[in-house]
Amino acid sequence: MNKKNIKRNILSLLAIFTCAAGLFAQPESGRQWEYKAFAGYNLGGSSPLPLPAEIRKINAWSPGLNGTLAFHVTRWLNREWGLTSGLAIDVKGMTVEAEVKYLNTSLIVGEGDHTGTFSGMFTGQNTTKVRNGYLVLPLLLSCRPSDMWRLHLGGYFAWQRDAKFEGSASGGYIRNGGPAGDRINIEKSTFDFSDHVRKTDAGLMALGDWFFTNKLALSGQLSWGMIPLFPSGFNGIPYKMYNIYFMGGIAYRL
């Protein structure tokens, strides 16, 4: 490479760097494209709405280890409005202990006078453990009221990567086959409906970011599933359940 070409390349690089510096020197409200990575923690549950009559009392609830890692891209159409999309790896789960009455379900009994699989109306103590992983694609309308705030509202579509929905039942009995069936006393039994969890989810999403520095923000996100957790033909649980979770976390603007 001769000196003339070297000089031309150096001048080209300087021009590129000068343009880039001018771009990034703009105030945040002047940027057309914005990139954000964030991590957070999900609180909520996979729940019916409203709580059905079969659930008489919630004795305990814990969220488990529910993390979110996400990357979002926003295309600002003007100083105030834009569109946001991206990808997220999401884990949603909970452990809940409840007293139930006449809950239509299927149980595997391994101890006591009766062993085997029984389906019917169960009354007693129920513990359910949920931990489902999703790949989430959001599509959001974004608002930029100031350099410190970003507000997003829209929907999401999610693909289930792995599912866990299992638990135990104890301290009660099941009417095998229905309300008039034989009474089977339940000391300890289990259930596992993981294979029946639906492979997709979709719903509404609202997200807010407060940038307390030029790069860092506190983020809050509400995702409200509109598709039941189990398909319509599934009889292990008699009511529809939905993913309803709030995420709190921290974001970094790239």
Q: Considering its fold, how many domains does the chain have in total?
A: 2
46 & 80 share domain: yes
* pLDDT for the residue numbered 133: 95
Predicted structure pTM score:
0.81
Within this chain, do residues 156 and 173 fall inside the same structural domain, yes or no? Answer: yes
The whole-number pLDDT of residue 18 equals 42
- What is residue 26's predicted lDDT score, i.e. its pLDDT? 45
Helix (H) or strand (E) holding 4: helix 3-24
89 shares a domain with 23: no
- Identify the pLDDT of residue 236: 85
Residues 132 and 244 grouped into a single domain? yes
Q: Are residues 19 and 93 in the same domain?
A: no
Residue from 45, 55, 200, 51 nearest 131 by CA: 45
Per-residue burial over 41-63, b = 16 or more CB atoms within 10 Å of its CB, e = otherwise: ebebbbbbeeeeebbeeeeeeee
Enumerate residue ranges in the chain where pLDDT < 50. Answer: 1-3, 5-7, 9-11, 13-27
Query: Are 19 and 100 in a shared domain?
Result: no
**pLDDT at residue number 49:** 84
**Based on the domain organization, do 20 and 51 belong to the same domain?**
no
pLDDT given at position 54: 87
Q: The domain containing residue 19 runs over which residues?
A: 1-30
Q: pLDDT tens digits for 91-116?
A: 999 999 999 988 888 888 866 566 77
